[in-house]
Amino acid sequence: MNKKLISTLTLLALSHTAVANYSASDKAHKIAQDNIIVDGHIDVPYRVNRAWVDVTEATKGGDFDYPRAKQGGLNAPFMSIYVPASLDNSPQSTQLAHQLIDSVEAIAARAPDKFAIAKTVSDVEEHFKAGLISLPMGMENGSPLQGELSNLAHFYQRGIRYITLAHSQSNHISDSSYDLRRKWKGLSPFGKTLIKEMNDIGMIIDISHVSDAAFYQVMELTEAPVIASHSSMRKFTPGFERNMDDDMIRALAKNNGVIMINFGSGFVTREARVWRDQYSAARKALIEKEGEDSPKVATFDEDYKKTNPYPFSTLEEVLDHIDHVVDVVGIDYVGIGSDYDGVGDSLPTGLKDVSTFPNLIQGLLDRKYSEADIKKILNENVLRVWRDVERYAKAQKS
């Protein structure tokens, strides 16, 4: 059937049917509840900064709140301290980072019976035993460092435990995979210095978003394992540099690092990527023809989706990414980096919010993953990296 003939309502009905058809077994739910689940990237802080909601209680919108996290077994979501590239090279980037950290601290302070800030692997483990959801933090975009190593130390003290070096534009640290200008042809001079300093202080290096050249320079310079906190496999999205290719995965495994699979449909399938590119091109053409203030521009999003429904990916296609990492380098180098609250309404059927982790576990069980291997994906691989980073930093201080 031609997708252009499917109405938006029909698409939504199909999507809801697909979600309803996912049924996790008691075993999948038990695995979710009995084990730590670490998610490398959830954009709750930026979400509540834009439009405040109390995620310590049930919320009407968004992908994360306490009841849904408990239902899904999610108990160690890295809170993303996301600073848009539009604020690069401005004091506002550092200001926003502090405000978002404040918001995470406020969540934990407002509901100490539900949440706790986690700064170490031991914190995560102790919180799990106590029935609390850990809130470790990672900074998405190193712009707030402002080229000052003292800021690195300060953000570490505040609880930041990984830094995504760049975001959608090249910054003072690194080129971005999205930025074709390639200002530094990889890392900047400061960025190269920063790698050693992050190793020494115990800050995990996150290579999601950086250019391929920057990735390989990080691999040459780092003495500790790194992560891709929310990336997927380029094999399924040819030409999309934001995802990682097989050679990069091999280099990451050699480094003993972990790729944490992004759930956003545009990261999962070529079809969703092509749709996004065509959508952007059509919107740009309309603005050029009609002007930014045209009523047609105001209704463009709704009108476009009526005739070009979004091709949501599926749980099975997310599992294909996990399978591919395992096929290329083995089970020890893959984890979860959903990007919940960060990819809008592009989430795949079967994985629409944090309550659906049992669906993912059921899918892994159906693909004959052992419970031991599932635990590696859920937490053991990334906690190994975090421990190794902690261990390396401790050794430098002794």
Q: Which residues have C-beta within 8 Å of that of residue 304, sequence separation ≥ 6?
A: 279, 282, 283
Q: Which residues have C-beta within 8 Å of that of residue 332, sequence separation ≥ 6?
A: 253, 376, 381, 384
pLDDT computed for residue 5 by the predictor? 29
The per-residue pLDDT for range 180-213, each reduced to its tens digit, is 999 999 999 999 999 999 999 999 999 999 999 9
What is the distance between the alpha carbons of residues 246 and 328, in angstroms, rounded to a whole number? Answer: 7
Kindly tell me if the per-residue pLDDT of 4 is higher than 60: no
Report yes or no on 22 lying in a domain. Answer: no
The per-residue pLDDT for range 226-260, each reduced to its tens digit, is 999 999 999 999 999 999 999 999 999 999 999 99
* Pick from 84, 10, 22, 7: nearest CA to 348: 22
Query: 280 and 195 share a domain?
Result: no
pLDDT computed for residue 12 by the predictor? 34
Q: How many CB atoms lie within 10 A of CB 281?
A: 10
What is the distance between the alpha carbons of residues 294 and 291, in angstroms, rounded to a whole number? Answer: 6
Q: What are the angstrom distances between the C-alpha of 63 and each of 109, 182, 223, 354, 379?
A: 21, 34, 36, 6, 20
pLDDT computed for residue 22 by the predictor? 83
pLDDT computed for residue 17 by the predictor? 34
Query: 288 and 166 share a domain?
Result: no
pLDDT computed for residue 398 by the predictor? 83
Given the structure tokens 């949501």, which residue do they identify?
Answer: 312
More confident residue, 14 or 93: 93
* Pick from 249, 219, 217, 250: nearest CA to 233: 249
Q: Residue 150: which CATH number?
A: 3.20.20.140
Of 288, 310, 332, the residue at which a domain comes to its end is 310
Query: 151 and 66 share a domain?
Result: yes
Kindly tell me if the per-residue pLDDT of 6 is higher than 60: no
Compute the average pLDDT of residues 270-297.
94
Helix (H, G, I), strand (E, B) or coil at 132: coil
What is the distance between the alpha carbons of residues 191 and 207, in angstroms, rounded to a whole number? Answer: 12
pLDDT computed for residue 14 by the predictor? 34
With 0-12 CB in 10 A as exposed, 13-18 as middle and 19+ as buried, what is 5? exposed
Kindly tell me if the per-residue pLDDT of 343 is higher than 60: yes
The per-residue pLDDT for range 373-398, each reduced to its tens digit, is 999 999 999 999 999 999 999 999 98
Report yes or no on 106 lying in a domain. Answer: yes
> Which residues on adjacent β-strands are paired with residue 81?
139
Quick check: 306 and 261 in contact, CB under 8 A? Answer: no
Q: Which pair of tokens denotes residue 223?
A: 């003495």
Quick check: 260 and 335 in contact, CB under 8 A? Answer: yes
Query: 110 and 53 share a domain?
Result: yes
Compute the average pLDDT of residues 21-35.
94
* Pick from 55, 128, 50, 63: nearest CA to 96: 50
The per-residue pLDDT for range 306-323, each reduced to its tens digit, is 999 999 999 999 999 999
Query: 301 and 345 share a domain?
Result: no
Query: 152 and 238 share a domain?
Result: yes
Report yes or no on 15 lying in a domain. Answer: no
Q: What are the angstrom distances between the C-alpha of 89 and each of 101, 210, 329?
A: 20, 18, 38
Q: Residue 178: which domain range?
A: 33-263+314-397
pLDDT computed for residue 21 by the predictor? 62
Query: 156 and 217 share a domain?
Result: yes
Report yes or no on 86 lying in a domain. Answer: yes
Q: How many domains does the chain have?
A: 2
Residues shown for the chain: 398
Quick check: 264 and 343 in contact, CB under 8 A? Answer: yes
Quick check: 72 and 30 in contact, CB under 8 A? Answer: no
The per-residue pLDDT for range 46-95, each reduced to its tens digit, is 999 999 999 999 999 999 999 999 999 999 999 999 999 999 999 999 99
Query: 294 and 318 share a domain?
Result: no
Lowest mean per-residue pLDDT among 83-87, 111-115, 294-298, 325-329: 294-298
The per-residue pLDDT for range 117-145, each reduced to its tens digit, is 999 999 999 999 999 999 999 999 999 99
* Pick from 226, 233, 232: nearest CA to 257: 226
Quick check: 203 and 157 in contact, CB under 8 A? Answer: no
DSSP type of residue 378: I
User: What is the overall mean pLDDT for the chain?
Assistant: 94
Report yes or no on 27 lying in a domain. Answer: no
What is the helix (H) or strand (E) element at residue 258, kind and residue range?
strand 258-261
Quick check: 138 and 106 in contact, CB under 8 A? Answer: no
Helix (H, G, I), strand (E, B) or coil at 227: strand
- pLDDT band at residue 20 using 50, 70 and 90 as cut-offs: very low
- pLDDT band at residue 269 using 50, 70 and 90 as cut-offs: very high
